[in-house]
Structure 1
Amino acid sequence: MKIFAAGSRPSMRAREDYFTGVVWQDPIIDAPAPARLRAIRVSFEPGARTAWHTHPLGQTLHVLSGSGFVQKAGEPARPIRPGDTVWIPPGDKHWHGAGPETAMVHLAMQEALDGVTAEWLEQVSDADYASAEG
């Protein structure tokens, strides 16, 4: 058993090649093998979002605060709010992030397949993001 004391691990600014805008990540768990779970608390400032991406074993998002959007490629963006939980099946191309004027914080949980939890693709364009508002 291992306990990670609150505040013992620093927040990290998310990689600009995987995100648009200001995004902070706080590690929850990167479980050692044979476990495969990785969980991260992700804080999106208004207008911030992920790039398009997929997960080899799927992803679960649980919204903690604020409001934002999640979108699967080929479908309209859907609003997400505190208490909402989103399951994204393996291989589904998608993005998620804050609303244009609201911050959003969610837990992102996914499993690694051969050490890989995500395949990062192109950035979500400003035009595609603007269409999320309807």
Structure 2
Amino acid sequence: MKLTIAAIGRAGRGPERDLYEHYAGRIRWPLALRELEEKRKLPPPQLMQREGELLLQAVPTGATLVALDRRGKVLDSEAFATRLGTWRDSSVSDLAFLIGGADGHTEQLLQKSALVLSFGAMTWPHMLARGMLAEQIYRAQQLLAGHPYHRA
């Protein structure tokens, strides 16, 4: 299973990027980070639509989509690992995580997603969400392998 994280915005050097790279480097599944941005100043509804188009263009055709969104489902680490394991065992070849811009995702994009995932009711910076996602993917990998990392 190949993983793609498609995210609006470009992370510069700094602690958020370091956190992402720390965990991304430990993930055994092939993982690609695609950073995208719309440079035109558009009204929020149009910007959300355009960002959704950019995200979908950046992922492999036919990929199973997971949108990160505050309106999504909150899963604990074990449930997230189980979901990844199910996709892996069901021969999902491409899994794409979509991190939107400041205004989030359109309903249309959310409806195309196999899972809409939330990191909870709090608002998290989009650059930090990449590191948090990479850590949870790594944790899921370890859980699926029977490693005690999840107890740390």
Q: TM above 0.5, one fold?
A: no
User: Which of the pair is proportionally richer in helix?
Assistant: 2
User: Which of the pair is proportionally richer in strand?
Assistant: 1
Which TM-score tier does this pair reach, normalised by the shorter chain? 0.3 to 0.5
Q: Highest relative contact order (Cα 8 Å, sep 6+), 1 or 2?
A: 2
Normalised TM-score (structure 2): 0.31
Normalised TM-score (structure 1): 0.34
